[in-house]
Structure 1
Amino acid sequence: MKEFELHSFLNVNLSKKRWADQISKNFNEEAGIDVSQVVVCVFNVPKSISRFNHEAYVPQAIALGPYHHFETHLYQMERYKVAVVKAFLDPNQVNSFEQLVINKLKRVEPMIRACYHKYLDLNGEALAWIFAIDGLFLLDLFKHYGEMEQFIPKKLMKYETLYRDMMVVENQIPLVVLNEIQKIIDGDFELLSLMIGFFEVHSPLKLTPHLNSYIRSTNYLHLLDLMYRLIVNNESPKQGSHHESCHEKQANDMHVITRKEHVIRNMENIKEIGEKLSKFTRFGKMISVIVSIPWEKICGLFGLNIGKKLDKEDDDDDDDDPRVMEIDIPYVSSLSKYAHINFSPSNGGIRDTKFVATEAILYLLVITLEIYSEFVLRNLVAYEIATSSTTMELAQYVDLMSGIIDTEEDVKLLKSKGIVKGNITNIEIVDFFNGMNTSSEHARGKETVKRLNEYYNTILAIKTWKFMKKRMRGSRKVLTVVFIVLACLLMIVYSFYEVYGYPKLFNKIT
C-alpha cells in the first residue's frame, strides 16, 4: 500500500481565514475552559518508526477520530458506524441527537483539540460529528462485544481487522471524550471494565493481576494507553527475606552443579579442542606473516586498487533502503546448543525478564501471537516512544525477542518451553521479530543482554570460534590479494604453455 499523504487538516498550507476564525473563536470562548490539565495523548507515528512497515501504523478498514477520517478507502464503513450508533441509542436520543450530543460536544471542543498532537484544521461542527459517531460506535463495541455481525457483515471486514484498527496509535479516541459522551447519553455501564474484558482476549502479553486497585489509582488516556500500562506494570510480587534466602541457597547449589557439568564437558573435549587450538595458532601465525607483507603497494605495481572495495564488503547499508537493526546477542538455538542455557516462562511480566547465570536460565514473558498481534505490539512500542518514556521497557523486551529469534528452530524451542504461543505459523513469527527495528537505548533491558553475552562468551568453544572468526576477518582482504596474485601467475604460466608448448619448454629446461 502506498504511503498516505498528509490529510487536509494536517496540511501546513492551512486556510488563513479558517485559522483566523478558529483562533478568534478560541480566544473568545475558551475563557471558561482550562485545557492546561489536558494531556496530549494522540500522536502521529514518526517516519523513523513507520518506514519499516508503514501499513502497521494506519487503519486498514475503519477510522476512529479525525486523523484518518477523510481517507476515501475508509468511507464504506461510515454507514455501518451510523447504523450501530442508531441501534445503540433509544428513539428519543436519536430524534434529538444534534441537540443532545453534537451541541454539547461543541462546548468541550477546546478540550478535545488539546488531546491531539497535531492541529486539527476542522471547524467545530465537523469535529463534533466525528467524535459523536466514532465515540458512540466505540462505546457500543465494548458494550456488545462479539455481536458486531448484526451491523457489519463479516464478508465486508474481518473482525481481526477491526480489533487491529482499534489499537492503531493514530486511531485513538481520548478517554475523556468517551467519558463525556457516556455522561451525555447517561450510559449505565462501567467502561473500564468492558475495555479490560476486551484486553483479556486480545492482549499478546499478560496483564497485571491487580486490576481493580490499579485502575482506581491511575488516569488512563485512551484504549492503547490502558493496555500499555496494564502490560508494563505487570510484575511478580516481591518475596520476603526468608523466601529470598532460600531461593539464594538453591541458586548457589544450582550454580555449583551447573559449573561441575561445564567442567566435565570441557574435560571430555579438552584434548580435541587443544589440538584444534594448536592448528589454529599455527594457521594464525602463517596468516600474520602474510598480513605483514605490504600487499597494497604490491597491488599498486600491477595497477590494482581493491582496498576500498574490500573494506566496504561488510558495509551494505543504503540510506534509500534502510536495514532493520538488531541488538548484538546470540540466537536461542546458539544459547541452548553451545552455552547450555535453558529457557523458562516468568511468573510475572516484562520487568521479570532476566538471565540468572547461577541457574543458566533465561526467564522470558509468555507471549501469545495471533494474526493481529504484530500490529498491536508495533503500535504499543510506537506509543511508548512517542510519549518519550525514560524506561522504554516494552521496546526493550521486543528488542530482546527480536535479537534471540532468527530462525524457525528458535521459535520451536521457545514454543516447547511454553514461552511463545498462538495460532500463526513459525515462519510468520520469525518474519515479525526479524522485521522489528531496535528502538531502545536505555540501560534497563540491556542488563539482561549484557549478562547473557558475558556468560556466552566464557564458553571455551565460543572463544575458539571467535578467535578464528577474528583472524579470518582481518585476513580476508589479504587472502583475496593472494588469490589475485596467484591467478596472475597461473595466467602467465598458461600463456607460456600456449606459446611454447609443454614439451618444448621441458626440453629447454633439461
Structure 2
Amino acid sequence: MSLRSILSSSDSEERWVNRIGQYFEKEVAIHNVPVSVFNVPKAISAFKPQAYTPQVIAFGPYHHMQPELYQMEKYKLAAIKSSLRPEQILNFQEIMIDKMKELEPVIRACYHKYLDHDGDALAWIVAIDGLFLLDILRGYGQVKYSQRKNLTRDAVLCRDVMVLENQIPVILLKEIRKNLQLNSVHDADDLELFLMLRGFCQIHSPLKLARMSNLSPYTSCLHLLDLMYHLIVNHQATPTRPQEQVLGLEKTDGQADEEKHQSEKEANDLILNVGEIVEMGMRLGIGKKVLKPIKVIQEMPWDKISNLLGIEMANEHDNDNHPIVEEITIPSVSHLSKFAGVKFSHTIGGIGDMKFIQEEATLYLPIITLNANSEVVLRNLVAYEVALSDSTGKLAQYVDFMSGIVDTSEDAQSFREKGIIKGDLTNEEIADLFNGMNRLSGKARNKTVDEINEYYNKRPMVKGYNFIKKRVFASWRILTLFSTILLLLLFLLNCFCEVYGCPQFFGRSS
C-alpha cells in the first residue's frame, strides 16, 4: 500500500521543487512569522468532524477549492465588488494581486499544512477571502448592544468564520487594508481592524470577554479565533489559582476503566447464567413454583438497576466503530444537589473564576450563552488551544468540567434557573452538546474538581451509597461463580434424565 502524499500530481511535485528553490532564502528570512492556522488532528475531529469543517463557505486555502463550497464564489465576488471603488476594481491585479504575490512566503508561513497552490492561485485565494471577511466584519467595529439584532443577517456565515481551518491571519488582513488604503494616516496600528474583530467576538463568544486593556499589545492577535480565545482566557476577576497535576500512586484512568469493565462483565455473566438456569429447569420439568423466583430475577429491569448502581450494561447494538466520549470524573448537577446539598451560582468573572466554597457548599461558575453556533465555536476554540504549544489549557479544563457535570436536560435546566446557562438552545440540546464533548485536558485537572469530589464523597448519603455499591460489586463474582456451578449441575442432571428419565423426581414421563 502506498502512502498518501501531500502533493496531488507530478505537476505539483515540480511546483514544489521550484518553489522550495526559489523561496528558500526568503523562507529563512521570515522565521519570525508564527504558524497560526492549524489543521485539526483526527484525534480531535473524530467525535464530530462536521464541527471542524466549513459547511457553507470557505475562507483561506485549506477549503477554498472544495466543490461543495465553491458555489459561494459568485456571492463572494459580488460582495467584494460592491465594497470596492470602480478604479480599485479596474486595477485590482496591480494594487492587490501583485502585492499579495510578493507576500507568498509570509502566507505559506502562516499555515501549518503544506499548501499545494502556486503563487498566483494563493494570492487570489487570500485576496478574495480576505476581502470577503473584511466585508463581513464591517459594522462590528462600533457595535452597540442595541444593534445586535441588525447583525443576525450574517448568522449563516458566522458559523464558518469561527472554524479553525478557515482562519485568515490578521497580518494578511492588514496588508489587504493597506493595499486598498482603507486605514487612515493616524491608524498606524490598525486599531479600526482590531475593533471590528473584537466587536465580532463580543457578539458571538459564548463566554464573557476581557477588556481591551487586558491584551498587551492589543494588535498582537494572530486571527479572529486567536483573539476570541485570548479574550476569554484573560477575563478573570480574581488571580489564577495554580493547576494541579495528577501525582502520587492513585489509580490511573486506564486502571479504573479496567476494573469497571471487569465488574460489568461479571454482572452480565451472572444474568446470562440465570437465564440458562431457567431454561434448563424447564427442560427438567421443575415445577413452576420452584422456577417462579428465578423468573422474577430474570425479568427484573437490570438495565435500570445497573444504571442506578453505576454499571453500564453491554449493548449488542453498540457500534464499536464510533469513538467513545471520555469525561472527567465528577458528579452531575442533580447528584450534587440531591445527595450533597450543593448550591450553584453564577459569577461575573471568567473561566478562571470558577470555584467551590465548601463553607457555603456553593459552586460558582461563569455565565455561558449557548446558541446555534456555540458548539462549533467552543470546539474550535479548544482545538486551537490544544494546538498551541504554550497554552495553559484553561479553556479545555472548563469545557471538560461542564461536560462532566451536565449529564441530562434536568442538569441544564438547573443551570439555566441559576443564570449560569443562557441562550436559545433547549435543555435537551445543551445536554447533548456537553455529552458529545470528549475530554481534552489530559491528566491535568483544576483544584475545583478535587474539592467537589472530596466534599461529595464525604456526605453521609453518598458514603452509604458507595458502601452498598462496593458490596454489590464484590458480590458479583460470588454470585456468578455460584450460578455457574448451579448451571453445570443442572446440565449434568439434564443429560442424565435424557438417557435414563427422571419421572420419580420431576414428574416427567420418560
Q: How would you bin the TM-score normalised by the shorter chain?
A: 0.7 to 0.9
Q: Contact 1:63 / 1:74 at 8 angstroms: preserved in 2?
A: yes
Q: How far apart in 2 are the matches of 1:399 and 1:347?
A: 20
Q: Contact 2:212 / 2:218 at 8 angstroms: preserved in 1?
A: no
Q: Contact 1:357 / 1:455 at 8 angstroms: preserved in 2?
A: yes
Q: How far apart in 1 are the matches of 2:129 and 2:194?
A: 18
Change in 2 beyond 3 A, CA 1:171/1:415: same
User: What are the within-5 Å matches in structure 2 for residues 298-317 of structure 1?
Assistant: none
Q: How far apart in 2 are the matches of 1:102 and 1:430?
A: 47
State the partner residue of 2:458. 458
Change in 2 beyond 3 A, CA 1:315/1:44: farther
Letter in 2 for 1:83: A
Q: How far apart in 1 are the matches of 2:90 and 2:84?
A: 10
- Is 1:383 aligned with 2:384? yes
> Unpaired segments of 5 or more residues in structure 2?
142-151, 185-191, 241-310
Give the match's secondary structure for 2:363: strand
- The alpha-carbon deviation at position 495 of structure 1 amounts to 5.3
Q: How far apart in 2 are the matches of 1:357 and 1:27?
A: 60
- Is 1:195 aligned with 2:197? yes
Q: Contact 2:7 / 2:13 at 8 angstroms: preserved in 1?
A: no
State the partner residue of 2:471. 471
TM-score where L is the length of structure 2? 0.75
State the partner residue of 1:205. 207
Q: How far apart in 2 are the matches of 1:504 and 1:116?
A: 82
- Is 1:433 aligned with 2:434? yes
Q: How far apart in 2 are the matches of 1:500 and 1:144?
A: 92
Change in 2 beyond 3 A, CA 1:179/1:503: closer
Q: How far apart in 2 are the matches of 1:26 and 1:191?
A: 30
State the partner residue of 1:166. 161
State the partner residue of 2:502. 499
- The alpha-carbon deviation at position 346 of structure 1 amounts to 1.5
Q: How far apart in 1 are the matches of 2:140 and 2:231?
A: 20
Letter in 1 for 2:419: G
Q: Contact 1:350 / 1:365 at 8 angstroms: preserved in 2?
A: yes
Q: Contact 2:194 / 2:218 at 8 angstroms: preserved in 1?
A: no
Give the match's secondary structure for 2:29: coil
Give the match's secondary structure for 1:463: helix
Q: Contact 2:238 / 2:353 at 8 angstroms: preserved in 1?
A: no
Give the match's secondary structure for 1:414: helix
- Is 1:184 aligned with 2:187? no
User: What are the within-5 Å matches in structure 2 for residues 188-337 of structure 1?
Assistant: 188=183, 190-208=192-210, 210-212=211-213, 214=215, 216-217=217-218, 219-236=220-237, 320-337=321-338
- Is 1:421 aligned with 2:422? yes
- The alpha-carbon deviation at position 161 of structure 1 amounts to 3.4
Change in 2 beyond 3 A, CA 1:401/1:503: closer
- The alpha-carbon deviation at position 472 of structure 1 amounts to 1.3
Q: How far apart in 2 are the matches of 1:451 and 1:88?
A: 55
Change in 2 beyond 3 A, CA 1:468/1:158: farther
Q: How far apart in 1 are the matches of 2:322 and 2:9?
A: 27
> Unpaired segments of 5 or more residues in structure 1?
1-5, 147-156, 240-311, 506-510
- The alpha-carbon deviation at position 16 of structure 1 amounts to 2.6
- Is 1:24 aligned with 2:21? yes
- The alpha-carbon deviation at position 217 of structure 1 amounts to 4.5
Letter in 2 for 1:194: M
Q: Contact 2:139 / 2:196 at 8 angstroms: preserved in 1?
A: no
RMSD: 3.0
- Is 1:339 aligned with 2:340? yes
Q: Percent identity?
A: 50
State the partner residue of 1:119. 114
Give the match's secondary structure for 1:343: strand
Change in 2 beyond 3 A, CA 1:159/1:490: farther
- The alpha-carbon deviation at position 446 of structure 1 amounts to 2.6
Q: Contact 1:60 / 1:161 at 8 angstroms: preserved in 2?
A: no
State the partner residue of 1:447. 447
Q: How far apart in 2 are the matches of 1:14 and 1:235?
A: 52
Give the match's secondary structure for 1:338: helix
Q: Contact 1:390 / 1:442 at 8 angstroms: preserved in 2?
A: no
Count of matched residue pairs: 414
Q: How far apart in 1 are the matches of 2:53 and 2:376?
A: 10
